[in-house]
A and B are shown apart, each in its own frame.
Chain A
């Protein structure tokens, strides 16, 4: 199984809502990532978890809150988002956070009204 599964595929939320994006992998990977991708742009790194500990936070606003409950799961909690946060949110995993292939999910497309 070389799949990273993200749910939901689409999410529409108001600026006062609280929602969560979920990501799951069963490849035994120990590093998991959140990326944000705007239309016609490359993915931008938001967070990296390595061995279930947050190792990189790319100065992401606190309205985005990551959580790694275990080595297979990664969540992104969303609260008080702005319309400019509308984007495709991609989850990825890699074997151990070192050099090598990133396995991406298909993404969750978020629209903030």
Chain B
């Protein structure tokens, strides 16, 4: 089955700097890679996703890159703001069975003022 590894487990960056979170997956058949943000006391919320036919996707300050050959994908947040502080989960799944999303272990991102 699919296994997703996520690094780092904690990340602290100065406000305004960039943050990068990296994930690797094991099943080369996986083709859908969402990223979820979970704020304290709330459920996870999708912030961006990418499918395997695309190498990069951007939405304002957030971008995701995918390297299918290396089975790596990364989340990039630029110009970080205090409201970016949260736990971020990467995930992987087969497009045909997206019901079984496999989450990474999570990264706790803290933005220092």
Q: Which residues of A contact B (CB under 8 A)?
A: 4, 31, 33, 40-43, 45, 48, 50, 55-56, 90, 92, 94, 97-102, 104-107
Determine whether the beta carbon of B99 is less than 8 Å from that of A41: no
- Determine, out of B38-46, B54-62, B68-76, B78-86, the stretch whose residues face the partner at the interface: B38-46
Q: Which residues of B contact A (CB under 8 A)?
A: 32, 34, 36, 41-46, 49, 51, 89, 93, 95-96, 98-101, 103-106
Determine whether the beta carbon of A99 is less than 8 Å from that of B106: no
Chain B residue with Cβ nearest A107: B43
Determine whether the beta carbon of A56 is less than 8 Å from that of B100: yes
Determine whether the beta carbon of B105 is less than 8 Å from that of A41: yes
Contact partner of B98 (CB less than 8 A), chosen from A90, A97, A105, is A97
Determine whether the beta carbon of A105 is less than 8 Å from that of B106: no
Chain A residue with Cβ nearest B106: A42
Please name 16 pairs of A and B residues whose Cβ atoms are closer than 8 Å in the assembled complex, sorted by A.
A40-B106, A41-B105, A42-B104, A42-B105, A43-B89, A43-B103, A45-B101, A48-B100, A92-B43, A94-B99, A97-B98, A102-B34, A104-B44, A104-B45, A105-B43, A107-B43
Determine whether the beta carbon of A102 is less than 8 Å from that of B100: no
Determine whether the beta carbon of B49 is less than 8 Å from that of A42: no
Q: A42-B89, A97-B98 known; A102 and B103 CB under 8 Å?
A: no
Tell me, in angstroms, the Cα distance from A31 to B105 when the chains sit together: 24
A27 shortest CB reach to chain B, Å: 14
Determine whether the beta carbon of B44 is less than 8 Å from that of A43: yes
A28 shortest CB reach to chain B, Å: 18
Residues of B within 8 A of A56 (CB): 99-100
Residues of B within 8 A of A99 (CB): 32, 51, 93, 95-96, 98
Contact partner of B99 (CB less than 8 A), chosen from A55, A90, A106, is A55
Chain B residue with Cβ nearest A42: B103
Tell me, in angstroms, the Cα distance from A55 to B105 when the chains sit together: 25
Tell me, in angstroms, the Cα distance from A4 to B106 when the chains sit together: 22
Determine whether the beta carbon of A102 is less than 8 Å from that of B93: no
Chain A residue with Cβ nearest B104: A42
Tell me, in angstroms, the Cα distance from A48 to B101 when the chains sit together: 11
